[in-house]
Structure 1
Amino acid sequence: MNNVNKLTLEQEFKLAIYVQKIHKLNSKSIKKHLIATLQQMMIKDNIIKYFIKNSIP
């Protein structure tokens, strides 16, 4: 249970790639991509909540 909040090796690798890409972006691009990412995370949360709510008989 301790490893629940830790990233897998694959996730750490992907994160490192994203960090490199982010450092190349200008401020306007960073804001645009951050907003899009936050929106996608909220949609993902809504989908998870929907499935949890509708999976219990």
Structure 2
Amino acid sequence: MNYPNNLSLEQQFKLKIKENQITELRKNESKEYLYLLLRYMFIKDNIIKFMIKNSKF
């Protein structure tokens, strides 16, 4: 059974690649990366909320 919270194999692979890249970052670079990541997540949340709010179900 596939649960919505599980990552696909492709997502797991991409996550591992990012993990390897992040471990090579310096502290300051890591903070900047985290900030951008959170910002993009908020934007994604806003897009999803907008789509749900404006859907015609």
Structure 1 and Structure 2 fold alike (TM over 0.5): yes
**2:49 is the alignment partner of 1:55:** no
| Moved >3 Å (runs of 4+) | none
Matches within 5 A, 1:9-20: 9-20=9-20
Q: Distance in 2 between matches of 1:12 and 1:51?
A: 27
Unaligned runs of 5+ in 2: none
Q: How many residue pairs end up in the alignment? A: 57
Q: Decide which moves more: 45-54 or 2-11.
A: 2-11
> Deviation of residue 6 (structure 1)?
0.4
Counterpart residue number, 2:28: 28
Q: Identical aligned pairs, as a percentage?
A: 49
> Deviation of residue 3 (structure 1)?
1.3
TM-score, L = length of structure 1: 0.92
Counterpart residue number, 2:43: 43
SS of the residue 1:51 aligns to:
helix
RMSD: 1.4
* Aligned-partner residue type, residue 8 of structure 2: T
